[in-house]
Amino acid sequence: MQKIDENLTKVTARLQTAAREAGRNPDEIQLIAVSKTQPAESLAQAWRWGQRRFGENYLQEALDKQAQLAGLEGLEWHFIGPIQSNKTRAIAQHFAWVHSVDRDKIARRLSEQRPPELPPLQVCLQVNIDQEDSKAGVSLAELPTLAQQVATLPGLTLRGLMAIPAPSDSAAQQRAGFARLRHAMEALRAQGLSLDTLSMGMSGDLEAAVAEGATLVRVGTDIFGPRR
pLDDT digits (tens, 9 = 90+) for 121-142: 999 999 999 887 778 899 999 9
Taking 70 as the threshold, does the pLDDT of residue 53 lie above it?
Answer: yes
Taking 90 as the threshold, does the pLDDT of residue 56 lie above it?
Answer: yes
CA distance readout (Å), 29 to 20, 76, 198, 216: 11, 15, 10, 6
* CATH number, residue 22: 3.20.20.10
**Mean pLDDT, range 201-218, rounded to an integer:** 97
pLDDT digits (tens, 9 = 90+) for 11-20: 999 999 999 9
pLDDT of 135 reads: 81
Taking 70 as the threshold, does the pLDDT of residue 224 lie above it?
Answer: yes
The tally of domains found in the chain comes to: 1
Distance CA 206, CA 225 (A): 16
Which residues have a Cβ under 8 Å from the Cβ of 200 and sit 6 or more positions away?
162, 163, 164, 165, 178, 181, 209, 212, 214, 216, 217
Taking 60 as the threshold, does the pLDDT of residue 157 lie above it?
Answer: yes
Taking 90 as the threshold, does the pLDDT of residue 160 lie above it?
Answer: yes
Confidence of residue 227 (pLDDT cuts 50, 70, 90): confident
pLDDT of 136 reads: 87
CA distance readout (Å), 9 to 48, 147, 210: 13, 36, 17
End-to-end CA distance of the chain: 12
Cβ-contact 55, 78 below 8 angstroms? yes
pLDDT digits (tens, 9 = 90+) for 74-93: 999 999 999 999 999 999 99
pLDDT of 1 reads: 47
Helices (H), the chain: 4-21, 40-48, 59-68, 88-94, 104-113, 143-151, 171-190, 206-211, 221-224
For residue 9, give its domain range: 4-224
Distance CA 217, CA 222 (A): 12
pLDDT of 226 reads: 83
Confidence of residue 2 (pLDDT cuts 50, 70, 90): low
Q: Please state whether the predicted TM-score (pTM) of the whole model is above 0.75.
A: yes
| Span of 4-18, 33-47, 132-146, 206-220 with lowest mean pLDDT | 132-146
Confidence of residue 50 (pLDDT cuts 50, 70, 90): very high
